[in-house]
Amino acid sequence: MKSWSSRRRVAAILVVALLAAITLYQPSRTGLWLQSFYDWLHVPLFGLIATGLLFASPTGWHWSRKLLFASVATAVLGSATELVQLLVPARNASYSDLANDLLGVAAFMGLVAAFGGTIPAPRVLKAALLGVSAAMLAWSAAPLTNVTLAYWERHREAPSIAPLRSRKSRLFFLLENTTVHYDGRTEHGRVLPKFQFSRERSSSVNFHDPLPDWRGFDTLLIDIANAGPSEFCFVLRVHDRKHLEGDQPGSDRFRREFCIAEGRHELSIDLADIAGAPADREMDLGRIEGIVIYRRKPGPGRRFALHDMRLE
């Protein structure tokens, strides 16, 4: 009885500590991979909370009652933590986080039922629970796995900062009033993304989380094609991480407008111009945070293909 009481105390402490960390911790979300990792982390954390509540439940309860109590209590706690985060600065409630919470609870309770030696269930049922739980865990990790593969492809493409070897590059595009589709592979074994800006609204393509270290290079080269008969005008914007830490004035980033005729063009920008663009400081080329192609005013030219964006 003493060992069970000690185990229940440890389990209760674990539950409280995990809940406090989930509710109060403010993770850095500056990178796409970190965002995906923290989203996935809800699955094992709430699975552990459910497991802790299972072991903290009264010893006299039947195993089915313990499983039900741990599952329902953790689901309620997951909902409560999302609501509490509305009161925490820089945090927000998320249905997707709650879904991951519930997925973690279901998967871990299935594993407990499958491996619990004292739980009276047929082997076939335990094997089925094990298979279903493993499938849920694999499914929950799929977005993080996909993002990890996208980063690996970007690493292979360096010094290209717009990875175009596969459709996973779509993960790095944040689109505003813009659509994208992909043509087949080009002569270099890449796929070709073609963008279309809105005819009536301002539009942009934000290359989220680009290759950050541009030191040691001299030029940013953009290999772009105007896919329409009309002249296509757009603005290229580049900013570093320090820009995001302040008020983000327009004078604190690089901005240059281009107008290109129909056909394919190579635009070359001296990195010294980018570094010297902020009015009161020098841009940190070792911590580039964002690249945006945008157009604020609607115009006739609005379709373009991006063949490459690389450092030289």
Q: Looking at residue 218, which CATH number applies to its domain?
A: 2.60.120.430
Would you say residue 103 lies in a domain? yes
Same domain, 207 and 74: no
Same domain, 105 and 47: yes
Same domain, 47 and 178: no
The strand order across the sheet containing 263-270 reads 178-185, 191-197, 303-311, 219-226, 263-270
Same domain, 265 and 289: yes
Would you say residue 161 lies in a domain? no
Tell me which DSSP letter residue 209 carries.
Answer: S
Same domain, 296 and 181: yes
The pLDDT tens digits along the chain (312 residues) read: 444 466 666 656 666 666 666 655 555 555 677 788 888 888 888 888 888 888 777 777 888 888 888 888 888 877 777 776 666 555 565 777 778 888 888 888 888 878 765 566 677 777 888 888 889 989 988 888 888 887 887 777 778 876 665 666 777 788 888 888 877 655 555 667 888 888 878 888 888 778 888 898 999 999 999 988 888 889 999 988 887 777 777 778 899 999 989 999 999 999 999 998 888 889 889 888 888 988 887 766 688 888 888 888
Q: To 10 degrees, the CA torsion angle through 305, 308, 157, 255?
A: -110
Same domain, 205 and 63: no
Q: To 10 degrees, the CA torsion angle through 202, 203, 209, 213?
A: -80
Task: State the Cα–Cα distance between residues 269 and 309, nearest whole angstrom.
Answer: 11
Residue finishing a domain among 126, 156, 186: 156
Same domain, 97 and 207: no
Distance of CA 72 to the CA centre of its chain: 29
Residue type, 101: D
Question: In which residue are the tokens 């997707």 written?
Answer: 96
Residue finishing a domain among 131, 156, 181: 156
Q: What domain range is 307 assigned to?
A: 167-311
Task: State the Cα–Cα distance between residues 273 and 89, nearest whole angstrom.
Answer: 37
Same domain, 282 and 182: yes
How open is the CA angle 266-220-201, to the nearest 5 degrees? 70
pTM over 0.75: no
Same domain, 139 and 235: no
> Considering just the CA atoms, what is the radius of gyration of the chain in Å?
25
**pLDDT at residue 139, rounded to an integer:** 92
Count the residues in the chain. 312
Residue finishing a domain among 156, 187, 202: 156
Would you say residue 63 lies in a domain? yes
Would you say residue 12 lies in a domain? yes
Would you say residue 187 lies in a domain? yes
Would you say residue 238 lies in a domain? yes
Same domain, 229 and 135: no
Would you say residue 162 lies in a domain? no
Helices 63-84 + 32-56 axis angle, to 10 = 140
The number of folded domains in the chain is 2
Same domain, 261 and 296: yes
Task: State the Cα–Cα distance between residues 57 and 4, nearest whole angstrom.
Answer: 10
Same domain, 233 and 294: yes
